[in-house]
Amino acid sequence: MTIIQVGGQTDRYAAVKAGVVDGTVVIPPLSGAAQRSGFNTIFNMTKLGIPYPQEGVVVSRQYIANRRDTLLRFLKGHTVKACATSRRQGVRHRSFGKEPPDGFQEDRQALEDSFQEVVLEQMLKIPNPNLEATKMGIELLGKDRPAKMSADPKDYVDTSLMSELEKSGFFQNLYK
């Protein structure tokens, strides 16, 4: 087997459609398009159970210390929106207005593919930082990791904000 670099997702998908390569990695919305074009999914990375940080909010320790309330409000807003999005599937189509634009059906299907896989299947109800995934990332650095770099994921991830929201009952009330 020869592995070649083709480019970004759109380039990779075009290459597999044109027969330039035999397979590629795609994510929504192209994973759905690939299946509809007759390509087979060999495996879905999100269903393998391999710890991987899907999303995150990155700020400095100083920002956490100085603007904790701002971050808590941001996390609440983000989570409320994610919850509302996952519950109201029909709402996402109304933004197109009364007259669908050219290419609407393709865009709608891409939106459906992305919504199904990302929002319904991957989005965490309580988006806690994944310490196991962080640890795996540190380990992947292996010998290239500077000697003074800690191997403890807790040295890089602050879980106190999400813990505070959990202890306050925010998530329990949100998902009633």
Supply 106's token pair.
Answer: 């393709």
Q: How many helices (H) and strands (E) does the chain have?
A: 8, 0
DSSP state of 99: S
What average pLDDT does the segment 46-60 reach?
A: 81
Q: Radius of gyration (Cα) for the chain, nearest Å?
A: 20
* Predicted pLDDT of residue 17: 94
Residues of the chain by 3-state class (helix, strand, coil), percent to 5: 60, 0, 40
Q: What confidence tens digit (pLDDT) does each residue in 96-151 have?
A: 444 555 555 667 777 777 777 777 777 778 888 889 988 888 888 877 777 788 88
Q: What confidence tens digit (pLDDT) does each residue in 79-94 have?
A: 998 888 777 655 555 5
Of the candidates 75, 57, 58, 49, the one whose C-alpha atom is nearest the C-alpha of residue 136 is 49
* Predicted pLDDT of residue 151: 85
Tell me the torsion sign for CA atoms 57, 60, 63, 68.
Answer: positive
Q: Which residue has the higher pLDDT, 155 or 51?
A: 155
**Which residues, 6+ apart, have CB-to-CB distance to 149 below 8 Å?**
138, 141
What average pLDDT does the segment 7-26 reach?
A: 93
* Predicted pLDDT of residue 97: 47
pTM of this prediction exceeds 0.75: no
What average pLDDT does the segment 65-74 reach?
A: 97
- Report helix angle 160-167 to 68-87, nearest 10: 70
Q: Which residue has the higher pLDDT, 81 or 24?
A: 24
What average pLDDT does the segment 44-70 reach?
A: 87
Say if CB 46 and CB 123 are below 8 A apart.
no
